Structure 1
Amino acid sequence: MVYRYILFYKPYGVLSQFTDNSQTEKKRRTLKDYIPVPSVYPVGRLDWDSEGLLLLTNNGQMQHRLSDPRFGHSRTYWVQVENIPDTVAINKLQQGVVIENYKTRPAKVKLLPEPLLPPRDPPIRFRKTVPTAWLEMTLFEGKNRQVRRMTAAVGFPTLRLVRVAIAHLQLSGLEPGQWRDLTPAELQLL
């Protein structure tokens, strides 16, 4: 079998799966609308309302290794939050916060100048009286909606969430909806 390893820039409003199993009349966009490669599956997930780097493969062993929390590979996100987090909030995020009776593992968190990203469609809500800030958050685990729950737990709700890296794999060079195969150098580091 020939293994495929694909990096995809998942746009906002796209499911991290190839079919929409919802019972709603309006079907949502899925990976099938962007990636015409058969038999590949996402390694992990990005929520419908999140954007960024998604790795897909048909190598089940690799998929397991990258998804299993025991191996603890990093995932880096650029997170736009409501208001400006202070050092107390950032320290809490770095040390781990309790979300749904679970304390998150320590994370790397820092304030980030506004990154150069393609505009989101639709754009985030804008309020003149409420400033926003960007954080770079690197996690070593992946619970459901973890970044959003963490920022909310310290009082700074997430407005926009973009995954920019999975371990050494980077989002740079891709636009929303684009995909490419991993390079031999990227694959060797996996």
Structure 2
Amino acid sequence: MSDIFIFNKPFQVMSQFTDSDGRATLADYIRIPAIYPAGRLDYDSEGLMILTGDGELQHQISHPRHKLKKTYWVQVEGEISAHAIAQLCKGVMLKDGPTLPASATAIDEPGSLWPRDPPVRFRAAIPTSWLSLQISEGRNRQVRRMTAAVGFPTLRLIRAAIGDWSLCGLAPGEYRKITLGEEFKRYASPKKPASRAFKRKPKSKTLGPKPRKRSP
């Protein structure tokens, strides 16, 4: 099985190694051959990504069918209400259908949070608030659409955890090799057993009385 790495993707970095438009990519931060992201994170989102060269593990982590939970810290415009939190927990209707129930709670601004560059635009007349949102789906820009659907547009979005793995104090642009935990071991591609040379057994001789010699 290939090595596995966690990476704190900075704001306005593509979650891929190349970009035809000249935007910053993972290649500006990671110089390890033959590893690829297990799932994507939007250009204007920040936080945790997992990278590996194990194609099966990559697919299993990123595929919504396996319902691997992802936790986000979300800064929204306005003071998030208890009613909006309850709606998110129940599931909200989006253009592509209803979301599954989420785990949502209002939080203070995370103490381990780093300054964003550039910072979120400050508007004195409009307060902001934070929530923790945990989902197991992977629709396009889902978290942003969910908070907008309950009346609180997302201003800043950080993925804080994937399953049991978290940012672990990584600064933006930093990465670290990790040990595969029990939650991920079931996703890892099994090693193929070494092939063994097969030696054909000689055919056994038919047992029985020796043939008699004919009389002349």
Q: Give the TM-score taking structure 1 as reference length.
A: 0.93
Residue pairs, 1:102-113, within 5 angstroms? 102-113=97-108
Match of 1:149 among 145, 153, 160: 145
**Partner amino acid, structure 2, of 1:85:** I
Give the aligned CA root-mean-square deviation in angstroms. Answer: 1.0
**Partner amino acid, structure 2, of 1:147:** V
In structure 1, the residue matched to 2:174 is 178
Please give the per-residue CA displacement for 1:73-122, whole angstroms capped at 9, x wherever unaligned: 10000000000121111111111111113111110000001112110000
Residue pairs, 1:21-60, within 5 angstroms? 21-22=20-21, 27-60=22-55
User: Unpaired segments of 5 or more residues in structure 2?
Assistant: 185-216
**Partner amino acid, structure 2, of 1:52:** G
**Partner amino acid, structure 1, of 2:6:** L
Match of 1:119 among 111, 115, 118: 115
Tell me how far 1:41 sits from its aligned partner.
0.8
Tell me how far 1:70 sits from its aligned partner.
1.4
In structure 1, the residue matched to 2:7 is 8
Please give the per-residue CA displacement for 1:125-148, whole angstroms capped at 9, x wherever unaligned: 100010000000000111110000
**Partner amino acid, structure 1, of 2:130:** W
Q: Tell me the number of residue pairs that the alignment of Structure 1 and Structure 2 aligns.
A: 183
User: Distance in 2 between the 1:162 and 1:132 partners?
Assistant: 15
Q: Give the TM-score taking structure 2 as reference length.
A: 0.82
User: Distance in 1 between the 2:40 and 2:160 partners?
Assistant: 14
**Partner amino acid, structure 2, of 1:161:** L
In structure 1, the residue matched to 2:208 is none
Tell me how far 1:18 sits from its aligned partner.
0.2
Larger Rg: 2
- In structure 1, the residue corresponding to 2:5 is in which secondary structure? strand
User: Distance in 2 between the 1:6 and 1:187 partners?
Assistant: 12
User: Unpaired segments of 5 or more residues in structure 1?
Assistant: none
User: Distance in 2 between the 1:49 and 1:101 partners?
Assistant: 22
Identical positions, percent: 52
In structure 1, the residue matched to 2:155 is 159
User: Distance in 1 between the 2:182 and 2:39 partners?
Assistant: 20
User: Distance in 1 between the 2:160 and 2:20 partners?
Assistant: 28
